[in-house]
Structure 1
Amino acid sequence: MRIFLAGATGVIGSRLVPLLVRAGHEVAGMTRSPEKAGQVARAGATPVVCDVYDRDALVAAVREFRPDLVMHQLTDLPDDVARLPELAAANARIRTEGTANLLAAASAAGAKRFLAQSIAWEPPAGRGDAVAAHDAAVLEAGAVVVKYGQFYGPGTYYVSEPPPHPRVRVDEAVAATISLLEAPGGSVAVVAEAH
């Protein structure tokens, strides 16, 4: 399968790329950072440096790759969890404008499948509208919304201590994502069982 992965250097994307390549998929890994293109190439994917907010460049990049599946693993989150509230608008924009641009690019390229990450928990007050708009747009396109629990493990906000439920170990989230490449449109929760 030809997979265009937006967010190829993020917490999920950086783990997905080598596994997808190893499984025999042809992967284009998108990052907005020219400095991270080498990371994508070393993982075995074709690096695509593009900003999701540059709609014309994004459409051109996705069309050029001709993917069967466009996967949206983009977020715009700070490195410090304490800064989430003050920087929430950036991630909301990814969920609204970024998602709209990726859906348009997938459609223009004739991609048959689209999969996008979302969250399995109720966002703090004032942040739910962007999540709801994102999920609705993806579902309206007949695509897959993957509602992840809060990630924990290496490279996440919760390296040593798991967050409250719903949660999921980051490597388990990646494995579950790979199992959803051919899932029918709809919403899928990827969370660990509460004990």
Structure 2
Amino acid sequence: MRIFLAGATGVIGTRLLPLLIGAGHEIAGLTRSPAKAAAIRATGAHPIVHDVYDAPGLAAAVTDFAPDLVMHQLTDLPDDVADLATSGEANARIRTEGTANLLAAAAAAGAKRFLAQSIAWQPPAGRGAVIAAHEAAVLDAGGVVVRYGQFYGPGTYYESTQPEHPRIHVDSAAARTIDLLDAPTGTVVVVDPA
């Protein structure tokens, strides 16, 4: 399967790349950072350096790759968990404008499948409408919404401790995502047992 992975250098994207390549898929990995292209290439994937907010350019990049599936693993979160409360607008923009641009690019490319990450917990006050609209857009396009628990493990906000439920080790989240490539349209919750 040809898969366009948006968010290839994020905390879950870096784990998905080798799993997808190892399973025999041909992957284009999207990053907005030219410095991260080599890391994508090192996995055997095709790096695509582009900004998700440049809709025409994104549509051209996705169309050029001609994927069977577009996977949306983009977030815009701060490096420090202490900054989460003040950085919600950037991540909300990924969930709205970024999602709309990826859906339009997938449609322009004729991709048959779309899979997008979401969250399995109640968002902070005032952010629920953004999550609901993001999920509705994906489902309306016939896609799959993956509601992940809070990630823990290396490279996450919870490297040495576990967050409250719902949670999922980031390596388990990536492995379980591979099983969803052919999932039917709908919402899937990916969390550790409570």
TM-score by structure 1 length? 0.99
Q: How does 1:71-110 map to 2 (within 5 A)?
A: 71-110=71-110
Q: Which residue of 2 aligns with 1:171?
A: 171
Q: How does 1:46-57 map to 2 (within 5 A)?
A: 46-57=46-57
Instruction: Name the amino acid aligned to 1:111.
Output: A
Instruction: Name the amino acid aligned to 1:193.
Output: P
Q: How does 1:25-64 map to 2 (within 5 A)?
A: 25-64=25-64
RMSD: 0.4
Q: Output the CA distance in 2 between the equivalents of 1:22 and 1:125.
A: 40
Q: Which segments of structure 1 move beyond 4 Å, counting only runs of 4 or more?
A: none
Instruction: Name the amino acid aligned to 1:13.
Output: G
Gaps of 5+ in 1: none
Deviation at residue 55 of structure 1 after TM alignment: 0.1
Matched, 1:150 2:150: yes
Deviation at residue 75 of structure 1 after TM alignment: 0.2
Q: Which residue of 2 aligns with 1:119?
A: 119
1:13-44 C-alpha deviation (Å, 9 max, x unpaired): 01101111111100000000001001100111
1:154 partner SS: coil
Q: Output the CA distance in 2 between the equivalents of 1:14 and 1:39.
A: 9
Deviation at residue 112 of structure 1 after TM alignment: 0.1
2:70 partner SS: strand
Q: Output the CA distance in 2 between the equivalents of 1:85 and 1:93.
A: 15
Q: Output the CA distance in 2 between the equivalents of 1:3 and 1:190.
A: 20
Q: Output the CA distance in 2 between the equivalents of 1:19 and 1:164.
A: 27
Deviation at residue 158 of structure 1 after TM alignment: 0.3
2:86 partner SS: coil
Deviation at residue 85 of structure 1 after TM alignment: 1.1
Q: Output the CA distance in 2 between the equivalents of 1:9 and 1:53.
A: 17
Deviation at residue 128 of structure 1 after TM alignment: 1.1
Q: Which residue of 2 aligns with 1:185?
A: 185
Higher mean alpha-carbon deviation, 103-112 vs 15-24, is at 15-24
Instruction: Name the amino acid aligned to 2:78.
Output: P
Q: Output the CA distance in 1 between the equivalents of 2:31 and 2:85.
A: 24
Deviation at residue 127 of structure 1 after TM alignment: 1.2
1:129-188 C-alpha deviation (Å, 9 max, x unpaired): 111110000011111000000000001000111000000011110011000000000000
1:61-89 C-alpha deviation (Å, 9 max, x unpaired): 00000000000000000000010111110
Instruction: Name the amino acid aligned to 2:105.
Output: A
Instruction: Name the amino acid aligned to 1:173.
Output: A
Q: Output the CA distance in 1 between the equivalents of 2:128 and 2:44.
A: 36
TM-score by structure 2 length? 0.99
Q: Which residue of 2 aligns with 1:138?
A: 138
Q: How many matched pairs?
A: 194
Q: Output the CA distance in 2 between the equivalents of 1:19 and 1:148.
A: 18
Provide the identity percentage.
72
Q: Output the CA distance in 2 between the equivalents of 1:105 and 1:56.
A: 8
Gaps of 5+ in 2: none
1:184 partner SS: coil
Q: Output the CA distance in 1 between the equivalents of 2:26 and 2:101.
A: 22
